[in-house]
Chain A
Amino acid sequence: MLQEDGDGQMAWPGGVAEHGRSRHGGAALRLLGALRLASRLTTMALAAAAAAHPRIVLVVEQSASIYEQAAVGFAQGFGNTDAIERIPLDADPRRLDAVTAEIRRLNPRLVVTIGTNAAIAIRNKLPSVPIVYCLALNPLQNNLRGADIGGVAFDLTLQTQMANLQRALPNARRIGVIYNEPVSGKLVREARAYLHSGVKLIPRDARNPSEAARAIEELAGSIDAFWLLWDPVIANPANFRLLVDFCLRNKIALISPATPFVEAGALMSIGADYLEAGRRTGTMAKEILSGRAKPGDFPAEPPPVSLVLVNGGVARRLGIEIPRDVGAHVLAAP
């Protein structure tokens, strides 16, 4: 078996080359040289072939830095970066056509997407291409399902979210939530099953952002914490601003589903560890390429590791202390 030495050259393990040099002299050296040359040529040929037809095309959304973390994790999890052709995807819808054209040209064995919009867009444009997604929000609801598609979802399981929330805020007894019943009603109802005794969910149904804005103010004095859902009626810029302002004014802990909300004023986020999510996607890709699995074998797998990020400044302002056993990461106050 050959392995790469420190100089990038291939050598027999266990010093066989050195041993052979002493016993067989020039013949062994010539054999070693020939083997090294053949190995190098093979490597170069494989690299060239990989460059011409990469086994994986990695489509990474450029809209958020968290996707970059996932991309780094993917490379770590997959290992062979030579087999990866990375294509960035920005918000320009016209760019999508160029990206799909490039994917068709490269004809990879697998497309890996990082980001919800990337997964949806590539799935819609290239329905027959095997896809492994990473950090895709609500993949099943977004029709990211089938035998040739699978991957790691953006959101944690409801159980994990609720467990982390209650561990991080053991004193929170009334947890408010605003949602649009057609969109998130089921989820809210399921969440009740994971609440500890004495903890109540205070839900408000709002069918549009304006109703949600009014509902925020109506929750004043009736909740200890607010659970922000991935629901457009509440998770939009205007209402998020209202919510942050409302929570700070009323000393209410705002729990969000992703770290960017923490940076924007939420107390904490209970979400995926993006690096680990990427690593898991990498191992999935490796298994698929090795033939041991298919994309459909990983239907909306939740992120393997959860991450609790706390805004230190907001916590101090609210007078909330997060228990150490939660293992929360703290975002330093500006």
Chain B
Amino acid sequence: MRRPGIVATFAISSAAILFVLGIAVTAYSLMQIRSVLYDEAQRRVEAQALNWIEANTPQIVLANADVLSRLIADFAARERLAYALLEDPAGRVLAQTTVPADLRSESSDIVATTARSRVYGMMAADGVHYLEVATPVSASGTGMSRDLSSMFSIVSGGQSLATLRVGIDTRELEGRLRALVWTNAPLYSGLVLLAVVIQVVLMRRLVRPIAAIGRAARSVAAGDLSTAVAPGATLENEVGELVRNFNDMVARLEENRTDMQALHAGLEHKVWERTAQLEALNAKLVEADRLKSEFLSTVSHEFRTPLTSIKAFAEILLDAPPEDRQQRQRFLGIIDSESDRLTRLLSDLLDLAKIESGFLEWRFAEIDVREPVQQAVAAMMASARAKDISLELSAPVSCQVRVDGDRIQQVVNNLLSNALKFCPEGGRVSVSVECFEPRGRTCTADGSYARVSVSDTGSGIPQADLPRIFDRFFRGSNVARGVKGTGLGLAISREIVLRHGGEIWAESEPGRGSVFRFTVPLAAVKDNAATANVSEEWGHHE
């Protein structure tokens, strides 16, 4: 069962309170009015009695019954009294009108006492109530002075001369009271109704914003923070304050929610970014793991091949040495060659490991890059002549670089070794050293570098192999062609060049030879005549 709302509760309670209050006030008012009515009646009748007593005291004193009966009958009729009787101090009736049957006092208590009378509540046999005003006929009632009255009182032994008892029918008084009640009851009821209606109207005005707050609170609870409560006419009272506070609270909630959403979106983006980074890193790690496995596999394979040859020929020589000396020499030559190959392989691996792990000791020094190049060319000159290959060096200008000269020579050695290896007899291998300085753009740390190029007139490198020729143990078609090598030379060269801040790359077309180039930064720009002839874009020292 739904409980009544504030307005209904207030209306019901107000009506109840007003009703009870009205009953109480009405009862009290009626008591007061009743008291006033009775008091007024008592005083009126007492005044009438006193007037009658004063006018007729001589007759009362003389106690002439006939005269008194006539007088008292006239008195009762004139004043419209219910009854009147005169009795002496002994209670003997001196004169009376018609008195209601079995008239007796309702209690021994005096209802009221006026200045000169006592009032009793009386009831007749028929149940009619009377208010009886008993006025003593004393000297004081005759208009004489108090002292003189006292003297007569002494003479009479302190008793009054007689007592005039006058009865008022209370039905008239009660009728007036009832009329008053019936007259005022509708008026009071109307006032109560009006008060309740006014209270209901006021309460509705008061409660309306509160109900709006309730609805808005439900909307807010459901997630709608766009709801606001109109303050209405209660703007300046406590309810208005409540409405304003509620609206402020909702606005704050809206702001907080917006901030939270932005924060959430930012967090999601960051998580996405971090996830992507982690995924990329993971891919690299996977690739690194794969390369490591591949490297180990390759290394194992590369080691096994010469070791297998060495072991096989060594076993042959040990178990069944050939009779032929040349054959033995050939077998031993193979063992020696494979041993050399294994030694180179180990040496290259060691170099590569040192370079990659950073344990290689570098001896940087400012030198002319032509020095290590010339030394390498000189070292390979014999091999070139052996294959009838023309080995040429073009290094017209000095290029001062800060490098580890031995390592740069190792790079040139590798490149020349490869070039001589793949260049057919009668071919040509050219080495050039150039010095470049930028104009308007930067290509290295200080914008200048030396470039060493090794070109050959060999069969060239297939385009598919070009991107991988600097990978470790990549030998491409060399394996199929029976070309010897560890597959680590170019990888070591790339690591050395990169460690010097340079670049290394290869250009080749199958059947037209290959060009391997690498660069290293210049130590400083040299101001000499050789640097004057520069191209439009790059200063090219011829």
A235's partner among B60, B113, B152, B158 (CB-CB below 8 A) is: B152
Shortest Cβ distance from residue A333 to the other chain B in the assembled complex, whole angstroms: 16
Q: From residue B148, how far is it (CB to closest CB) to chain A in Å?
A: 4
Q: Could you say which of A25-33, A62-70, A101-109, A301-309 contacts chain B? A: A62-70
Interface residues of chain B: helix, strand, loop or mixed (majority): helix
**Residue A298 interfacial (CB < 8 Å):** no
Closest 10 CB pairs of A and B: A238-B61, A64-B150, A260-B147, A63-B150, A117-B158, A238-B58, A235-B155, A64-B147, A260-B148, A237-B142
Contact B57 A238 (CB under 8 A): yes
Within 8 A of B (CB), among A200-237: 208-210, 213, 230-232, 235-237
A117 & B154 in contact (Cβ 8 Å cutoff)? yes
Cβ of B148 and Cβ of A232 under 8 Å apart? no
Interface residues of B in 48-83 (CB under 8 A from A): 57-58, 60-64
Would you call B155 and A209 a contact (CB within 8 A)? no
| Contact in complex: B158, A208 (CB < 8 Å) | no
User: Chain A nearest CB: distance from B165 CB in Å?
Assistant: 16
B360 contacts the other chain (Cβ, under 8 Å)? no
Residues of A within 8 A of B61 (CB): 209, 236-239
Q: Is A213 within 8 A of B142, CB to CB?
A: no
Of residues 106 through 126 on chain A, the ones whose CB sits less than 8 Å from some CB of chain B are: 115-117, 120-121
Residues of B within 8 A of A258 (CB): 151
With A63-B146, A237-B149 already in contact, 6 other A-B pairs whose C-beta atoms are closer than 8 Å: A63-B150, A92-B113, A208-B63, A236-B61, A237-B144, A238-B57
CA distance A154 to B150 in the complex (A): 13
Taking the closest CB of chain A, its distance from the CB of B422, in whole angstroms, is 148
Total interface residues in chain A, CB < 8 Å: 36
Does B154 contact A230, Cβ atoms closer than 8 Å? yes
**Contact residues, A64-98 vs B (CB, 8 A):** 64-66, 91-92, 94
B58 touches A263 (CB 8 A): no
Q: Inside 8 A of A94's CB, which chain B residues have their CB? A: 110
Assess whether B161 is interfacial by the CB under 8 Å rule. Answer: yes
A179 interface residue (CB < 8 Å to B): no
How many B residues face the partner with a CB closer than 8 A? Answer: 28
Report yes or no: A64 in contact with B155, Cβ–Cβ below 8 A. no
> Mask for B390-409, Cβ within 8 A of A = 1, else 0?
00000000000000000000
How far apart sit A282 and B154, CA to CA, in the bound complex (Å)? 23
Asked if B145 contacts A236 (CB within 8 A), the reply is: no
CB distance from B477 to the nearest CB of A (A): 145
Give bound CA distance, A264 to B150, whole Å. Answer: 12
How far is B155's CA from A194's CA once the two chains are assembled, in angstroms? 24
Min CB distance A117 to B, Å, is 4
- Contacts of A66 on B, CB cut-off 8 Å? 147, 150
Residues in A neighbouring B63, C-beta threshold 8 A: 208-210
**Assembled-state Cα–Cα distance A322/B145 (Å):** 26
Chain B 103-127, CB within 8 Å of chain A: the 1/0 string?
0000000100100000000000000
B153 adjacent to chain A (CB < 8 Å)? yes
Find out whether the CB atom of A63 lies under 8 angstroms from the CB atom of B153: yes
Which residues of A are interface residues toward B (Cβ below 8 A)?
A: 61, 63-66, 91-92, 94, 115-117, 120-121, 137, 154, 208-210, 213, 230-232, 235-242, 258-261, 263-264
Query: CB distance B161 to A236 under 8 Å?
Result: yes
When C-beta atoms are compared, the residue in chain A nearest to B58 turns out to be: A238
How close is A112's CB to chain B, nearest CB, in angstroms? 18
Assembled-state Cα–Cα distance A231/B155 (Å): 6
From known contacts A117-B153, A210-B64, infer whether A237 and B158 are also in contact, taking CB-CB under 8 Å: no
27 pairs, CB–CB < 8 Å, chain A vs chain B: A63-B150, A64-B150, A64-B151, A65-B146, A91-B138, A91-B158, A94-B110, A116-B154, A117-B157, A137-B154, A137-B155, A154-B154, A210-B62, A230-B155, A231-B155, A232-B155, A235-B155, A236-B61, A236-B155, A237-B57, A237-B161, A238-B57, A238-B62, A259-B147, A260-B145, A260-B147, A264-B148
- Find chain A residues with CB under 8 A from B60 CB: 238
In the complex, which residues of chain A have a beta carbon less than 8 angstroms from the beta carbon of B144?
237, 264
B156 beta carbon closer than 8 Å to chain A = yes
Contact partner of B146 (CB less than 8 A), chosen from A64, A232, A240, is A64
Residues of B within 8 A of A239 (CB): 61
Instruction: Confirm or deny: B139 has a beta carbon within 8 angstroms of a beta carbon on chain A.
Output: yes
Measured in the bound complex, the distance between the Cα atoms of B138 and A275 in whole Å is 27
- A264 CA to B289 CA in the complex, in Å? 150
Question: Contacts A237-B61, A241-B58 given: A120-B158 contact, CB under 8 Å?
Answer: yes
Chain A residues whose CB sits within 8 angstroms of the CB of B161 once the complex forms: 236-237
B-side interface residues toward A, CB under 8 Å?
A: 57-58, 60-64, 110, 113, 138-139, 142, 144-158, 161
Known contacts A94-B110, A117-B158, A210-B62, A240 near B152 by CB under 8 Å:
yes
Chain A residues lying within 8 Å of B110, measured Cβ to Cβ, are 94
Q: Which residues of A contact B142 (CB under 8 A)?
A: 237-238
The residues of A that contact B157 with a CB separation of less than 8 Å are: 117, 120
Q: How far is the CA of A323 from the CA of B153 in the complex (A)?
A: 32
Q: How far is the CA of A116 from the CA of B110 in the complex (A)?
A: 26
For residue B112, give the distance in angstroms from its CB to the closest CB of chain A.
Answer: 13
Contacts of A261 in B (CB 8 A): 148, 151
Report the Cα distance A154→B58, complex, angstroms: 27
Q: Give the residue name and chain of the B residue nearest to A264 (CB).
A: B148
Question: Shortest CB–CB separation between residue A234 and chain B, in angstroms?
Answer: 9
Give chain B residues whose Cβ lies under 8 Å from the Cβ of A264: 144-145, 148
A260–B150 CB distance below 8 A: yes
CB-defined contacts of A242 to chain B, threshold 8 Å: 58
Q: A263, B62: Cβ atoms under 8 Å?
A: no
Q: Which residues of B have CB within 8 Å of A208? A: 63
Q: In the complex, A231→B148 CA distance in Å?
A: 14
Task: Give the distance in Å from the alpha carbon of A115 to the alpha carbon of B154 in the complex.
Answer: 9
Least CB distance from B122 to A in Å reads 18
In the complex the two chains form, is B150's CB within 8 Å of A237's CB?
Answer: no
Q: B158: which of A116, A209, A230, A238 is its contact (CB, 8 Å)?
A: A116
Knowing A63-B149, A209-B63 are in contact, say whether A237-B139 is a contact too (CB < 8 A).
Answer: yes
Chain A residues contacting B62 (CB-CB under 8 Å) are 209-210, 213, 238
Question: Nearest Cβ distance between residue A60 and chain B, in whole angstroms?
Answer: 12
Contacts of A61 in B (CB 8 A): 150
Set A92, A231, A235: member contacting B151, Cβ < 8 A = A235
**B91: shortest Cβ distance to chain A, in Å?**
14
> In the docked arrangement, what's the CA distance between A237 and B162, Å?
13
- Of all chain A residues, the one with the shortest Cβ separation from B109 is A94
Residue on A nearest B116 in the bound complex, by CB: A91
- Determine the chain A residues whose CB is within 8 A of the CB of B146 once the complex forms: 63-65
CA distance A261 to B113 in the complex (A): 29
- Chain A nearest CB: distance from B344 CB in Å? 139
Residues of B contacting A63 with CB < 8 Å? 146, 149-150, 153
Q: B residues within 8 A CB of A116?
A: 154, 158
> In the complex, A245 Cα to B205 Cα: how many Å?
85
Residue of B nearest to A118 (CB): B158
B152 touches A236 (CB 8 A): yes
Whole-angstrom distance between the Cβ of B133 and the nearest chain A Cβ: 15
Q: Please indicate the chain A residues that have their CB under 8 angstroms from the CB of B152 in the complex.
A: 235-237, 240
Query: Could you say which residues of chain A place their CB within 8 Å of the CB of B64?
Result: 210
Q: Contact between B156 and A232 (Cβ–Cβ < 8 Å)?
A: yes
- What's the Cα separation between A208 and B60 when bound, in Å? 12
B148–A263 CB distance below 8 A:
yes
CB of B164, distance to nearest CB on chain A (Å) = 15
